[in-house]
Amino acid sequence: MREIAFDTVKDAVAKLCMDANYDIGDDIIAALKHGLEIEESETGKDILKQILKNNEIAHDERVPSCQDTGFAVVWVEIGSGVTIAGGELNDAISQGVAKGYTDGYLRKSIVEDPLRRKNTGDNTPPIIYIDIVPGDQLKITVQPKGGGAENMSEVKMLTPAAGAEGFKDFVVDRVRRSKANPCPPVIVGAAIGGTFEKCAMNAKKAQLRKVGSVHPDPFYADMEKELLERINKLGIGPQGLGGRVTALAVFIEAFPCHIATMPTAVNMCCHASRHKTVVL
Amino acid sequence: MVKKITTPLTEETVAGLHAGDSVLITGTIYTGRDLAHKELVDAIEAGKDLPFDPHGAIIYYVGPSPAPPGKPIGSAGPTTSYRMDSFAPLLMEKGLKGMIGKGNRTQPVLDAMKKYRAVYFAAVGGAAALIAKSIKDARVIAYEDLGPEAVRELKVEDFPAIVVNDMYGEDLYEKGMAEYRRE
């Protein structure tokens, strides 16, 4: 067995929380620049310029690109040959989140109970998804997820008869109804299949893909392209003030499902689609 | 053309603002989001004083990130406004003239803006580090225990925003979307 020290994991997670919030990925920057070229609305262009400028400041000064530094969603792939020395993996991640959000001057956005709403003070607990994979490496991705776009997300249990058209209409309609609220231009995570909860999780996981990447299955690659075109005809535009660039990308995640079901889910993400990965 | 405006907002300033105008705001504005709005409305209903004078005031829907050393405030972009919609009309009745946030408002808020002659501005969501540059000073004036949700008094210079809803009932979200829709 390969041992990885508790503190190594904790420190890595703390750094990922900060880096993700300070540095918007190059793929998003490139997509925003492309958006600026194709945007027709003057207001829309101004907004895209402001967002690009903002991301530059955040990077240069190491400050959060958005004040909503999110719920820390942590995706873990742990090799079956790895053990954590000196503590539990979940605790190392949780303590890493607390450290990253405190040391990095990131906003603490988590309340300990949804109805009594007292802030936990250190942005814990994180949401942790663990997969056990072959090998002796530990891969950790931190995806800080803001609340505004999350509120525009939805799971819908369609019937198999609804087919591809039903799925596509649901995705487009979800973006249409979201209007300005999720901070467009958005990244749309769309999932189909699995169970009720697996589908929702996959819609979020879909957002970890690089903007500009092509779905490996040509059937879904074509569907992503079609959906992006349809969404960018809605007219919502940057910040919902009207324009061509409503979404930067649509990512589909499909999964096997039951003969009676066709779960679908849309998880919306703002233009600040943040995620950083480390392999230990 | 960019309009420069100062706080507190007068009847005249509000009357001169139209959906689609870009503005730069200078003066004092107050922060408040979900829990702070509940506190403010509870205070009004209990007949207590508000932590700031609502007459001509602008509320900015924001929960900033913590101020790093040497800066007055952390990143400070707008949060989604509709969550404050059940509280906003009462604040306008008490004299509030401006709200800064992002996203669509519901009908009761749009109606209240016409009735009480108030205006809704959008700031660019996710441009939080850029917006923070226009905030020169910040201090918590109420509900400190709410952390990022506490009410702050901000001194701003040339704070960039866009008029979305004016007192005449114009709505830039509806207008802008209709103009570029190609469905």
CA distance B98 to A262: 46
The CATH number of residue B45's host domain is 3.20.130.10
What is the distance in angstroms between the Cα of A202 and the nearest Cα belonging to chain B?
A: 24
Nearest to A242 among B35, B130, B175 (CB): B175
Of A104, A110, A125, A114, residue with least CA distance to A58: A104
Among B65, B73, B164, B171, the strongest candidate for a mutation testing the A interface, having the largest count of A CBs within 10 A, is B65
Within 8 A by CB and 6+ apart from A227, the residues are: A168, A171, A172, A188, A190, A250, A252
Number of A/B CB contacts below 8 angstroms equals: 166
Among A49, A187, A239, the strongest candidate for a mutation testing the B interface, having the largest count of B CBs within 10 A, is A239
Q: Nearest chain B Cα to A24, which residue? A: B126
Which chain B residues are closer than 8 Å to A58 by Cβ?
Answer: 75, 129
Report which secondary-structure segment, H or E, holds B78: none
**Model pLDDT, residue B148:** 87
A5 inside 8 A of chain B by CB: no
Phi and psi based region of residue B103 (left: phi greater than 0; alpha: psi -120 to 50; beta: remaining): left
Nearest to A236 among B79, B128, B177 (CB): B177
Q: Does the N-terminal peptide bond of residue B72 adopt cis geometry, omega within 30 degrees of 0?
A: no
Contact, A136 vs A79, CB < 8 A? yes
Contact A180 B68 (CB under 8 A): no
Contact A179 B63 (CB under 8 A): no
Which chain A residues are closer than 8 Å to B68 by Cβ?
Answer: 63, 105
pLDDT, tens digit (0-9, with 9 covering 90-100), for B116-153: 999 999 999 999 999 999 999 999 999 998 888 999 99
Residue ranges making up the domain that contains B19: 2-180
pLDDT, tens digit (0-9, with 9 covering 90-100), for A29-58: 999 999 999 999 999 999 999 999 999 999
Q: Nearest chain A Cα to B183, which residue? A: A233
Question: Which of 112-171 (A) contact B at CB < 8 A?
Answer: 117, 119, 121, 147-148, 151
Which chain B residues are closer than 8 Å to A67 by Cβ?
Answer: 62-65, 74-77, 128, 148
Query: Model confidence at B111, in pLDDT bands (50, 70, 90)?
Result: very high
Contact B63 A233 (CB under 8 A): no
**Model pLDDT, residue B183:** 82
Contact, A72 vs A142, CB < 8 A? yes
Nearest to A66 among B71, B75, B180 (CB): B75
Tally of domains in chain B: 1
Nearest to B130 among A53, A233, A243 (CB): A53
**Model pLDDT, residue A213:** 96
Report which secondary-structure segment, H or E, holds B107: helix B107-116
**Model pLDDT, residue A104:** 97
B1, pLDDT greater than 80:
no
Contact A46 B102 (CB under 8 A): no
- For chain A, which ranges sit under pLDDT 70? none
How do A262-269 and A276-279 pair as beta strands?
unpaired
pLDDT, tens digit (0-9, with 9 covering 90-100), for B3-46: 999 999 999 999 999 999 999 999 999 999 999 999 999 999 99
Among B39, B60, B130, B133, the strongest candidate for a mutation testing the A interface, having the largest count of A CBs within 10 A, is B130
Which chain A residues are closer than 8 Å to B183 by Cβ?
Answer: 230, 233-235
Which chain A residues are closer than 8 Å to B181 by Cβ?
Answer: 233-235
What is the distance in angstroms between the Cα of A58 and the nearest Cα belonging to chain B?
A: 6
Q: Nearest chain A Cα to B160, which residue? A: A50
Domain boundaries, chain A: 2-20+65-145, 148-273
Q: Nearest chain A Cα to B163, which residue? A: A241
**Model pLDDT, residue B24:** 97
